[in-house]
Amino acid sequence: MNSFKEVSAALQIALTDLQAGGELQVVHQILEMKRGLNSKISFEQQKKTQQIKDQVATINELKGINIQEPTQKHAEVSNLVNQVSDLKKEAKSLLTERNALVEQLKSLTKEVNKNTTSKQSEQQKIEAACQLFHQITGVFWEDQEVGYVLSEEIAKPIKYSDSQSATDQLWEMIDM
């Protein structure tokens, strides 16, 4: 049962990473956790199924004996029946946890896809606005400090520290 708490903690860490922008890594980690969880559940189910079969065989063997058995034997059988019941409850609990984790994986995948689509759309809008600005003004920026203006006759670098400086340099170029 402890390992499922660890998986839950790892899932919480993955969610934090998703919010910080590591979407792809989160998806890979979640898929890896799902595979590990599935294999652990399968192993636990096989183990518990075998235990149940052994206990049922023991119970059937005890039922076949017609001699009155000591109280200790009855206590052992009763204990085995209780253990079988507990194992069934635990198996149901594990399946419920697994289903909850699968649902979380699906919702995280949807959220990652939504965020990726949103970021791509936002980037396209920014690029389109930048292109429109370049086309309208003819001013292009190489970086934050150096820009240039393209025309048929001149292409003069503009070094500016603020918008007023850049505007003054543009007016000088227009007056040329």
Mark whether 119 and 38 lie in a shared domain.
yes
Whether 57 is covered by a domain: the verdict is yes
On the CB side of 43, CA atoms within 13 Å amount to: 6
pLDDT of residue 120: 93
Read off the pLDDT of residues 76-88 as tens digits, 9 standing for 90 and up: 888 888 999 999 9
Lowest mean pLDDT among 97-101, 132-136, 154-158: 154-158
Instruction: Transcribe the chain into DSSP letters.
Output: -HHHHHHHHHHHHHHHHHHHT-HHHHHHHHHHHHHHHHHHHHHHHHHHHHHHHHHHHHHHHHHH--SPPPHHHHHHHHHHHHHHHHHHHHHHHHHHHHHHHHHHHHHHHHHHHHHHHHHHHHHHHHHHHHHHHHHHH-EEESSSSEEEE--SS---EEE-SSHHHHHHHHHHHHH-
State the average pLDDT over residues 41-65.
81
pLDDT of residue 152: 47
pLDDT of residue 146: 53
Mark whether 106 and 80 lie in a shared domain.
yes
Whether 134 is covered by a domain: the verdict is no
Mark whether 164 and 100 lie in a shared domain.
no
Mark whether 86 and 24 lie in a shared domain.
yes
Whether 132 is covered by a domain: the verdict is no
Domain count, the chain: 2
CA distance 113 to 121: 12
pLDDT of residue 121: 93
State the average pLDDT over residues 57-68.
68
Does residue 175 surpass a pLDDT of 90?
A: no
- Domain range spanning residue 56? 2-123
Residues facing residue 146 across a β-bridge = 159
Does residue 4 surpass a pLDDT of 50?
A: yes
Whether 16 is covered by a domain: the verdict is yes
Mark whether 117 and 162 lie in a shared domain.
no
Mark whether 156 and 84 lie in a shared domain.
no
Computed over every residue of the chain, the mean pLDDT equals 77
CA distances (Å), origin 127, targets 133, 143, 148? 10, 15, 19
Mark whether 20 and 76 lie in a shared domain.
yes
pLDDT of residue 104: 92
Read off the pLDDT of residues 70-115 as tens digits, 9 standing for 90 and up: 666 777 888 888 999 999 999 899 999 999 999 999 999 999 999 9
More confident site: 139 or 15? 15
pLDDT of residue 115: 92
**10 Å Cβ neighbour count for 123?**
10
More confident site: 161 or 94? 94
- Whether residue 91 contacts residue 45, with contact meaning beta carbons closer than 8 Å, is answered with yes
Whether 133 is covered by a domain: the verdict is no
Mark whether 145 and 92 lie in a shared domain.
no
pLDDT of residue 119: 93
